[in-house]
């Protein structure tokens, strides 16, 4: 297993365009998280899934953002009508919940989005 994988690593887009990022978690992990990290700041929680169910969304996740995890495996994060303020690193993480035991979260290398 190669860990959490994110694609693409870098994305440059024009303002107003839609973008979609993909995250492949560690294969047996049933929880998946999305974070956003702007320059000089720590990551901020956006949303998380348990299997295919989206259990929580941060108020940072505006209507232009949508995340899916259709089969409980990989996840996509789509940003519609991108704005310059969306420029950031988007990080994905996964963890395994078994009963009451939850492993720590393992992070991917992120997708760097630049909106021009």
Partner 1 sequence: AQSVTQPDIHITVSEGASLELRCNYSYGATPYLFWYVQSPGQGLQLLLKYFSGDTLVQGIKGFEAEFKRSQSSFNLRKPSVHWSDAAEYFCAVGAARSGNTGKLIFGQGTTLQVKP
User: Quick one: which segment of 16-24, 44-52, 59-67, 68-76 binds partner 1 (CB under 8 A)?
Assistant: 44-52
The 84-103 contact track toward partner 1, x by CB under 8 A, reads -------x-xxx-x--x-xx
CA 32 – CA 6 distance, rounded (Å):
12
* Region of 70 on the Ramachandran plot (φ > 0 left; ψ -120 to 50 alpha; else beta): alpha
- What is the smallest separation between the CB atom of 23 and partner 1, expressed in angstroms? 11
Q: Give the 3-state secondary structure of 57-107.
A: ECCCCCCCEEEECCCCCCEEEEECCCCHHHCEEEEEEEECEECCEECCCEE
Q: Which of 26, 61, 105, 115 binds partner 1 (CB under 8 A)?
A: 105
Could you say whether residue 60 binds partner 1 (CB under 8 A)? no
Could you say whether residue 42 binds partner 1 (CB under 8 A)? yes
Could you say whether residue 75 binds partner 1 (CB under 8 A)? no
CA 116 – CA 113 distance, rounded (Å):
10
Could you say whether residue 44 binds partner 1 (CB under 8 A)? yes
Could you say whether residue 33 binds partner 1 (CB under 8 A)? yes
Peptide bond into 101 cis (omega under 30): no
- By CB under 8 A, name the binding residues for partner 1: 4, 6, 31, 33, 40-45, 48, 56, 91, 93-95, 97, 100, 102-110, 112
């Amino acid at each position: 297993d190669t860990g959490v994988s994110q694609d693409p690593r870098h994305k440059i887009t024009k303002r107003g365009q839609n973008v979609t990022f993909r995250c492949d978690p560690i294969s047996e992990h049933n929880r998946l998280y999305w974070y956003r990290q702007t320059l000089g700041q720590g990551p901020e929680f956006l949303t998380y899934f348990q299997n295919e169910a989206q259990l929580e969304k941060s108020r940072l996740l505006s209507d232009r953002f949508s995340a899916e995890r259709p089969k409980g495996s990989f996840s996509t994060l789509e940003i519609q009508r991108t704005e310059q303020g969306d420029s950031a690193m988007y990080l994905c993480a996964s963890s395994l919940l078994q009963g009451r035991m939850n492993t720590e979260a393992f992070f991917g290398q992120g997708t760097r989005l630049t909106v021009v």
